[in-house]
């Protein structure tokens, strides 16, 4: 179940405000980031706390779409990987098996990011060992999780 979180210690210049009356999956994603050996920076925690707010009436995420613009080398990969791994691990809370897609400028760039960054980060995460396996066939790259999510 999502928890309540206050990540206003480092408020961004422009952002949807955090609604403290709503629970959020943000702290859960922070646990995943720590399991990956990549604790979140305050701005990343704020983004996740807001983006993953839950509408208490429906039990669904409050926002259908989230846009994030930050400079290069700011920590987007860590934020996205932690959020995506959380989604795969908590699939039941989001309606069952999940299918997540990743795109980039070109197919080659997407594969490089997937293999060189995401797979390598997952391999070093002891807490996640045995919960996933990669498939790296050219054109069918994927991470398959124990719960059936891809």
The pTM assigned to this predicted structure is: 0.86
pLDDT tens readout for residues 93-127 = 999 999 999 889 999 999 999 999 999 999 999 99
pLDDT tens readout for residues 13-65 = 788 889 999 999 999 999 999 999 999 999 999 999 999 999 999 999 999 99
Whether pLDDT at 6 is above 60: no
Q: Helices (H), strands (E): how many in the chain?
A: 5, 2
Whether pLDDT at 7 is above 80: no
- Which residue in 112, 108, 47 sits closest to 76, CA to CA? 47
Whether pLDDT at 4 is above 90: no
CA distance 23 to 72: 30
pLDDT at 59: 92
pLDDT at 86: 97
pLDDT at 102: 87
Question: pLDDT: is 6 or 77 the higher one?
Answer: 77
DSSP assignments along 32-54, one per residue? HHHHTT-PPPHHHHHHHHHHTBB
- What does the pLDDT average to over 77-85? 94
Q: Are 47 and 16 in contact (CB under 8 A)?
A: no
Tell me 4's DSSP state.
-
């Amino acid at each position: 179940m999502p928890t309540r979180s206050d990540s206003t210690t480092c408020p961004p210049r422009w952002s949807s405000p955090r609604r403290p009356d709503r629970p959020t999956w943000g702290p859960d994603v922070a646990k995943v980031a720590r399991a990956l050996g990549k604790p979140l920076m305050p701005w990343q925690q704020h983004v996740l706390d807001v983006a993953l707010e839950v509408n208490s009436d429906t039990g669904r995420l409050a926002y259908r779409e989230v846009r994030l613009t930050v400079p290069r080398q700011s920590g987007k990969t860590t934020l996205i990987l932690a959020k995506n791994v959380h989604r795969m691990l908590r699939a039941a809370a989001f309606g069952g098996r999940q299918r997540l897609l990743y795109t980039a400028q070109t197919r080659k760039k997407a594969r490089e990011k997937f293999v060189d960054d995401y797979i390598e980060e997952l391999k070093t995460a002891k807490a996640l060992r045995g919960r996933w396996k990669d498939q790296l066939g050219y054109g069918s790259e994927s991470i398959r999780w124990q719960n059936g999510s891809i």
